[in-house]
Chains A and B, each alone.
Chain A
Amino acid sequence: MEKFKTLTSTCVPMPFQDVDTDQIIPARFLKATTREGFGDNLFCDWRFDENGEPKSDFVLNDPTYQGQVLVAGRNFGCGSSREHAAWAISDYGFRVVVSSFFADIFKNNALNNGLLPVQVSEEFLQQLFDAIGKDPETEVTVNLEEEEISIPSAGVSESFEINAYKKYCLQNGYDDIDFLISKKDEIESFEKERTI
């Protein structure tokens, strides 16, 4: 897993609520047996028409908006547990998703793939949308060590929460499996000691 420290980037705004994982990556693209290449079909049905031509009114097709930070409305990633959604967002080139609320499974999947979900207040999210609306070159800085997201040009910042364990994993590129394998003895004792 790629390490995450600090990122400063322009943003891609997607001010919709309840973006579900079927929109992020439709089921018909889940037939692959590897983790790579899902970015090509990220938001496929919003991004391309039925002939595969880019829809000019969709933000990913608008060259005005670029960057490694996706900014989305509340309840991002609801629906299916498909980790392919996190893979698609990462594979497309995003490192951070900012929203005021994330669905549980998506949040876990993102963290397990070095994609940082940054949960902010509704006020901050609105400020960010407004700032990007006024100036598409607006940058945000996401500092994982300080657990802080800021919009330097607007002079505003906000802290975000991440549990200490996940933070450590992201900063060092470790994953849960390494950790769990190191606890094999405890797992085996648990199995021996349980009665039902």
Chain B
Amino acid sequence: MKQKTLFDKIWDSHVVHDIENGPQALYIDRHFIHEVTSPQAFAGLRSRGIGVFRPEQTVATADHNVPTINQHLPIKDALSRHQVETLTKNCEEFGIELYGLGHPYQGIVHVIGPELGITRPGMTIVCGDSHTSTHGAFGNIAFGIGTSEVEQVLATQCILQKKPKSMKIEVNGPLKNGVLSKDIVLYIISKLTTSGCTGHFVEFCGSTIESLSMEARMTICNMSIEMGARGGMIAPDETTFAYIKGREFAPEGEEWERQLAYWQTLKTDEGAEFDTSYAFDAEDIEPMITYGTNPGMGVGVTRPVPAVNGKEDAMLTKSLAYMGLEGGKNLLGHKIDYVFIGSCTNSRIEDLRMVADLVRGKKKADHVHALIIPGSRQVEAQAREEGLDKILGEAGFELRQPGCSACLGMNEDKVPKGKYCVSTSNRNFEGRQGPGARTMLASPLTAAAAALTGEITDVRTMLN
């Protein structure tokens, strides 16, 4: 029998129908929805006069467009309020479980799925959000879809997709002190560019990846979309199983044993071929920072921004002009105004713990606004239980309520025009954090270090 990749195994076992010279109908195990990309899909169902085919396989939450303070009060912005209320109404009408504002399970959709044990190995998972790739950290096929596709899944629990090509990205060796999984993924994107993996589904592997916690693995899979990949995945192992066991919706007893036996088979066969392969050494990776207007425009924090070489660098020139930076110069010491720690990339308890450890007993620079937005109500509750809120508060960081917040600036959490924000989120596109905002992507440690000094800092100089 032909050796198969992990991706092939899961994909092939979910194909319901093959269209000749066309896409395949892929069965979807879990579907997550949120307020921004679902209303038009429900409207579509209504106009066709049909219901949701398998409502128990869809879970909803409100995250993109919610305030991060006073969530118990009605949302002030009328359009946002209407959108969130529309989600509530749609979930009631179509019988879908909703973890809305005020619910103890509410949070960023890609944080709550894993933490509730809904996200598991071997599944197919979709959501109308490109960072659905996050869930792939558990050894499943998870990818972002558009609203028409959300409607397909609601209507039929299937989606029509062309099977992507396969790619292997291997990272080996021990990580240097102060280097986090965010740095690994920013490093890979800086090498492969934002379109380097388009048309592919990536499996991340190698000793460095295997050594990572589930939170750290999620950060890597989360940003696989920023390389252009359809999604990213990591083969499940003991770390994965230990994370899932005991969570709210995790299987129990005999069902746990049955599923676990299946999960343990989920790995790429020895000798299976990938369409494309890359390998990186962890020792080459240092804390990363982006200087430009896409996530591929990143450098090691001690290295200079690339110099502009003539006319062919039109995109670099445009990006640097937007960012107010000069090619060839080092970013260390560059003054910053905001620090945003949050988003589906880096807002989990492990991220908050690392930040709290670094800032304990210190104070942020006076001119810096430092926002911490936990990924979920559960993350927030745990942070408070562990006393992280006090440590962060004493250091001048504001711990707010969960949501996507300043990652995409849909709510009122925005970075003003021309201001620099070191952000643990996933995109530094023009205007992403607010019109004219200048985003520099980094790890939670690098972001926290910048908040303390008020400038781009090599966090390694602050570690023991």
The interface of chain A, by Cβ under 8 A from chain B, is 16-18, 20, 22-23, 26-28, 30-35, 45, 50, 74-75, 78-84, 86, 101, 103-105, 108-109, 112-113, 163-166, 175-177, 179-181, 183-184, 186-187, 190-191, 194, 196
Query: Can you name 12 extra interface pairs (CB under 8 A) apart from A75-B195, A165-B19, A186-B17?
Result: A16-B315, A30-B37, A30-B65, A31-B80, A33-B39, A79-B429, A81-B145, A84-B147, A164-B20, A166-B23, A176-B160, A179-B160
The reply to whether A105 and B318 form a contact with Cβ atoms under 8 Å apart is no
* Among B40-48, B93-101, B171-179, B336-344, the stretch in contact with A: B40-48
A166 CA to B409 CA in the complex, in Å?
Answer: 35
Kindly state whether residue B417 has any CB partner on chain A within 8 Å.
Answer: yes
The reply to whether A78 and B435 form a contact with Cβ atoms under 8 Å apart is no
The reply to whether A187 and B158 form a contact with Cβ atoms under 8 Å apart is yes
A176 CA to B351 CA in the complex, in Å?
Answer: 40
The interface of chain B, by Cβ under 8 A from chain A, is 13, 16-17, 19-23, 25, 27, 36-37, 39-40, 43-44, 48, 50, 53, 64-65, 77, 79-80, 82-83, 86, 122, 128-130, 132, 144-149, 151-152, 155-162, 164, 194-195, 198-199, 228, 230, 258-259, 262, 294, 315, 318, 408-410, 417, 427, 429-432, 435-436
Interface of B is mostly: loop
The reply to whether B86 and A27 form a contact with Cβ atoms under 8 Å apart is no
A123 CA to B356 CA in the complex, in Å?
Answer: 53
The reply to whether A18 and B195 form a contact with Cβ atoms under 8 Å apart is yes
Given the known interface contacts A22-B431, A31-B410, A34-B43, the answer about A81 and B146 at a Cβ–Cβ threshold of 8 Å is yes
Given the known interface contacts A81-B37, A101-B195, the answer about A176 and B152 at a Cβ–Cβ threshold of 8 Å is yes
Q: Which residues of B contact A79 (CB under 8 A)?
A: 130, 427, 429
Q: Which residues of B contact A84 (CB under 8 A)?
A: 147
A179 CA to B159 CA in the complex, in Å?
Answer: 10
Given the known interface contacts A16-B318, A22-B430, A50-B417, the answer about A103 and B195 at a Cβ–Cβ threshold of 8 Å is yes
The reply to whether A109 and B19 form a contact with Cβ atoms under 8 Å apart is no
A113 CA to B201 CA in the complex, in Å?
Answer: 24
Most buried by B among A83, A175, A183: A83
The reply to whether B148 and A180 form a contact with Cβ atoms under 8 Å apart is no
